Amino acid sequence: MIDLSITDIIDKAKMCRGISSDEAAELLSVSNQKDRSELISAAGSVRDKVFGNKVFIYGFVYFSTYCRNNCAFCYYRRTNDLSRYRKTEDEVLALSASLKDAGINLVDLTMGEDPVMCAGGYRELLGMVRRVRDEVGIPIMVSPGAVPEESFSAFRDAGADWFACYQETYNRDLFSKLRLEQDFDNRLNQKIWAKRAGLLTEDGMMVGLGETLRDRVDAITKMGSLGCEQIRAMTFVPQNGTPMEGMKPAESDDELRSIAVMRLMFPDRLIPASLDVEGTAGLKTRLDAGANVITSIVPPHMDLAGVAQHELDIDNGHRSVAHVLQMLDGMGKRVATNTEYASLLKDLRAWNR
Ligand code: SF4
């Protein structure tokens, strides 16, 4: 129990020095409209104080939908019978180049744990990363799933700036029901090993798949205290063909409160507004809640999928860079230049040491 009222906690948070886990729990549980509006508005103002009106935009290249794992929540789980694709190195290069030309700050090279890409110590993936670095010259995030400890330096040397690996929950019991046949500590260590190798790290939690409010607080606290420079919350979307397909889809409100609390707890972190949950219709609410990175920008007509929403807003071009830029204009925000993003990465690396 804490003595402070919601308004006291929010006033303290506005000073950009963070809040405690107990205070975060109080804020996550706000239910009346007035407190909720105060929370959201404080998170937006803390983001603006730290980052100004600029946001960062990331292109998403989900280059292989093959996966050896069988996560209960995921459409691309091994046992789901669906048509899958694996893009060639040249295709990934061309996609990355077109995203760079369109003005994005980073390309996120994502795959399921595709046995072909994992073979030979990630030989193919490392070659792809090297070519994107050398021939396109854009900051790179890799999201290859869980990898052995000795692979992290190879990803760094090939040119990756970031390593993303979402725990989804820090409740071990829940983890074992979601990430079937996977090891909690091995996944947790991904963030630690990546940081040790000098990579920037992203972690993420999922909202609405059976976790308690305390689980959410624990996940936010843990992701931040691990030192992950980018942390995210995304609403669970039930997927056809999975054991969780019958679950009731959650509203996005818990995700928005989680984003706002993350911002108040860790004012200087990058926090994504993902287009992968509600498409561009959900962009403004996430930015209002304190997010400062737009992720899951997917070029249209390239036969690329999203993760939680594999088709939403892709082929109508709404997830394209041009459309997102147009939307930002109307919100008083601007995209960071590549020079600004490079300078941010330099600062984050200095902080990481
Ligand atoms: S969440 Fe990732 S690791 Fe799990 S089944 Fe889906 S693609 Fe594979």
10 in any annotated domain: no
Q: How far is the CA of 88 from the centre of ligand 1 (A)?
A: 20
Residue ID of nearest Cα to ligand 1 atom 5? 77
5 in any annotated domain: no
How many helices and strands in the chain, by DSSP H and E?
Answer: 13, 9
Q: How far apart are CA 63 and CA 273, in angstroms?
A: 21
Question: Quick check: helix, strand or coil at residue 143?
Answer: strand
Q: Which atom of ligand 1 is nearest to the CA of 74?
A: 6
Question: Which amino acid is located at 88 in the chain?
Answer: T
- CATH code for the domain in which residue 87 is found: 3.20.20.70
pLDDT class of 353 with cuts at 50, 70, 90: low
Residue ID of nearest Cα to ligand 1 atom 4? 71
3 in any annotated domain: no
Number of domains in the chain: 1
36 in any annotated domain: no
Report if pTM > 0.75.
yes
Question: Quick check: helix, strand or coil at residue 39?
Answer: helix
Q: How far is the CA of 29 from the centre of ligand 1 (A)?
A: 30
Residue pLDDT, tens place only, 175-227 = 999 999 999 999 999 999 999 999 999 999 999 999 999 999 999 999 999 99
Q: How far is the CA of 38 from the centre of ligand 1 (A)?
A: 36
Residues contacting ligand 1 via CB (< 6 Å): 67, 69, 71, 74, 76-77, 112-113, 145
28 in any annotated domain: no
Residue pLDDT, tens place only, 119-128 = 999 999 999 9
The burial class, CB within 10 Å (0-12 / 13-18 / 19+), for 248 is exposed
Domain interval for residue 216 = 51-352
Question: Which among 73, 77, 78 is the best mutation to test ligand 1's pocket, defined by most ligand atoms within 8 Å of the CB?
Answer: 77
21 in any annotated domain: no
Q: How far apart are CA 133 and CA 117, in angstroms?
A: 18
